[in-house]
Amino acid sequence: MVKASKDAGETKTGLLTRTASVGGVSYNYQVYVPAIFQEGKRLPVMLFLHGITQRGEGGIVPSRGPASLMARHYLDRVPAIIVLPQCRDTRYWSNRDMGEMAVAALDQATAEFDADSERLCLIGVSMGGYGAWRLAAEHPGKFSAIVPICGGSPLRAGDRFNTIARKVGPTPVWVFHGSDDTVVPVSESRLMVEALKAAGGNVRYSEYAGVGHSIWLNVAAERDLLPWMLSQHRS
């Protein structure tokens, strides 16, 4: 059973906190609603899976201070509902309970803000990149676009890449990795991209030469990324 909670009379825009109950366990998550939000205007939704250092229960976006102002400034430039679940300490996005929580948060936010269910984008960074591949494979056809950043196959045995690629199918994917990554080997993304191409997938790949694991600024500077994500539709 999944339930959502919100404060009565709460504003409909900005950084909001919600609670999802999945399998009898309650999880707080954040959702960012841009200032352009209007009732009746169906915005796309982006589900963002963070990296390992942001695990916890207090929310990944600070609620106050300079860091909060900076985060909200950039978030409000994205014309979409942004869902920000938080992976619990000692857990990983590739764990089933964390994946179910993330999808529950996505579904709740989509319903609450009457968002465009044909435009659900999945983005994951590092640990979240592994989680993005897993969610995309476990929910084929649910997402309109997938953006794994310095991630890898969540499978630890068997045909690690082709198995995921076949399940992802024709969903548009844009993969990012740094060639000198010493945390997650660049071969993880290279082999996944090869598997997607062999399976007839719709995949783009950007590899940054001489860059290590911290490629967030490189990805953020990709001028085509946001328009590409927002232009994809499940149908």
List pLDDT tens digits, range 187-204: 999 999 999 999 999 999
pLDDT at 11: 59
Which residue ranges form the domains of the chain, and what is each CATH number?
A: 18-231 (3.40.50.1820)
What are residue 69's phi and psi, to 5 degrees?
A: -60, -40
Stronger pLDDT, 10 or 196, i.e. the higher one: 196
Report helix, strand or coil for 165. helix
Under 8 Å CB-to-CB from 181, ≥6 apart: which residues? 150, 211, 212, 213, 215
Question: Residue 142 pLDDT > 50, yes or no?
Answer: yes
**Alpha-carbon torsion, ordered 155, 159, 164, 167, to 10 deg:** -130
Question: Residue 48 pLDDT > 90, yes or no?
Answer: yes
At 86-120, the pLDDT tens digits run 999 999 999 999 999 999 999 999 999 999 999 99
Stronger pLDDT, 92 or 216, i.e. the higher one: 92
Share of the chain above pLDDT 90, in %: 81
Q: Widest CA span of the chain, in angstroms? A: 51
pLDDT at 1: 36
Confidence of residue 63 (pLDDT cuts 50, 70, 90): confident
d(CA 92, CA 29): 16
